[in-house]
Amino acid sequence: MRNPHAFPARRPSAFALPLVLWSLAFIAGLVVLVGGSVSDWVESEARAERMFRARQMALSGVALGMNPEVKAGNPLLKSGARDTEGFEVKISDEAGRVDPNFWIAQNNRAIFQQLFASWGIDREPADAAIDGLTDWIDGDDFRSMAGAEKAEYEARGREGFPANRPLLSVKEMEAVLGLDSLLASRSDWQSFFTIRHRGKINVQFAGEPVLAALARLTPRQCQALLELRAGQDAIDGSEDDLEFESIESVATLVGADGIQRQALVDFFDVSGSVRRIESAGYCGGTRHEIVVLFASEAGSRILAWEER
């Protein structure tokens, strides 16, 4: 017989099953979320490790490149492989380029006129570019005929320019009014310039574009000069390179005519060196590059260091 005072039997709540299912779904989602976060963290750590190793490889290449006894073409300048781990080093010389700071200080417009003319630039925009560069580098506020001083920069919404000091980097040339649009038309313009070699262009290191533009050498003359300079191994900057004794001897070697000979004498020399080291390190598909400018002739000083 049922006790009238007994508690009624409990019935399962209608909300129990949905609550259990929701809890299971929540836990499953949490597991997926945590699993994804852990996976992202592991991948991030692995990527950081590859970047670190790639930079270490690049630094190893820099150390080799800074050794004056190691020349271009040395097998030590390449180690390992790109898809696993290793480095590759390219050695060239900044002395084979045009230093705008030096030539503007010499008040030499001819070198820029000749260079820009070889690029197919008309005289008027070329003069505006040279005047703009002059106004950027000189220390006064007197505007060159087609140049740009404070008022011209302010009219373009650029307060605090021009710098009125020598260029601090080649890239800074893009900020010079009159020169900026001219450079934009030439994708390889940076390869013509340096700010680390204060002097005439060393013909020992000048590339074909510079030789053709400024020495006015024909393609055949450029090729002959580069082949003679590189020696039997055909590697520029290596141990067996022919070292020129004078700029006059270079003119004779290439059979320069009167105009070419004068251009060589005006713009080129056979002295000066600023080693450019481009070291690329690799690790598991990750790449890190370090570019160092090194002047062994100036007490073995590092002049510039850039990582990318």
User: What pLDDT, in 10s, does the model give residues 91-118?
Assistant: 999 999 999 999 999 999 999 999 999 9
Is 22 a residue whose pLDDT tops 60?
A: yes
State percent of the chain over pLDDT 90.
Answer: 77
- pLDDT number for residue 115: 97
pTM greater than the 0.75 cutoff: yes
Please name the residue that has the structure tokens 């191994």.
233
- The larger pLDDT score, comparing residue 287 to residue 31, is at 287
Same domain for 261 and 280 = no
Query: What does the alpha-carbon distance between residue 44 and residue 277 come to, in Å, rounded to a whole number?
Result: 30
The CA dihedral of 229, 220, 209, 272, to the nearest 10 degrees, is: 30
Domain total for the chain? 3
pLDDT digits (tens, 9 = 90+) for 57-67: 999 999 999 99
Q: Is residue 213 part of a domain?
A: yes
Query: What does the alpha-carbon distance between residue 192 and residue 283 come to, in Å, rounded to a whole number?
Result: 32
Among residues 143, 171, 191, the one where a domain terminates is: 191
Same domain for 174 and 107 = yes
Same domain for 150 and 119 = yes
Same domain for 186 and 209 = no
Taking residues 233-238, report their average pLDDT. Answer: 90
Q: Picking from 156-170, 196-210, 294-308, which range would have the lowest pLDDT averaged per residue?
A: 294-308
Do the bridges between strand 268-269 and strand 201-202 make them parallel or antiparallel, or are there none, so unpaired?
A: parallel
Q: Is residue 45 part of a domain?
A: no
- The larger pLDDT score, comparing residue 15 to residue 103, is at 103
Chain mean pLDDT for the chain: 89
DSSP per position, 248-260: HHHHHHTT--HHH
Contacts for 249-254 with beta carbons within 8 Å, 24 or more apart? 250/203, 250/225, 253/224, 253/225, 253/228, 254/217, 254/221, 254/224, 254/225
Query: What does the alpha-carbon distance between residue 298 and residue 147 come to, in Å, rounded to a whole number?
Result: 35
7 band by pLDDT with thresholds 50, 70 and 90: very low
Please name the residue that has the structure tokens 């097998």.
75
- pLDDT number for residue 301: 86
- pLDDT number for residue 38: 60
Rg of the Cα atoms in the chain = 32
Range of the domain at 123: 100-191
Which strands, in side-by-side order, build the sheet including 85-93? 78-80, 85-93, 275-283, 286-295, 301-307
Same domain for 127 and 148 = yes
Same domain for 128 and 67 = no
Among residues 136, 170, 191, the one where a domain terminates is: 191
Q: Is residue 75 part of a domain?
A: yes
Is 9 a residue whose pLDDT tops 60?
A: no
- pLDDT number for residue 89: 97
CATH of the domain at 238: 1.10.40
pLDDT digits (tens, 9 = 90+) for 258-306: 999 999 999 999 999 999 999 999 999 899 999 999 887 656 789 999 9
CATH of the domain at 149: 1.10.40.60
Single-letter amino acid code for the residue at 41: W
Is 72 a residue whose pLDDT tops 90?
A: yes
Same domain for 76 and 59 = yes
- pLDDT number for residue 18: 67
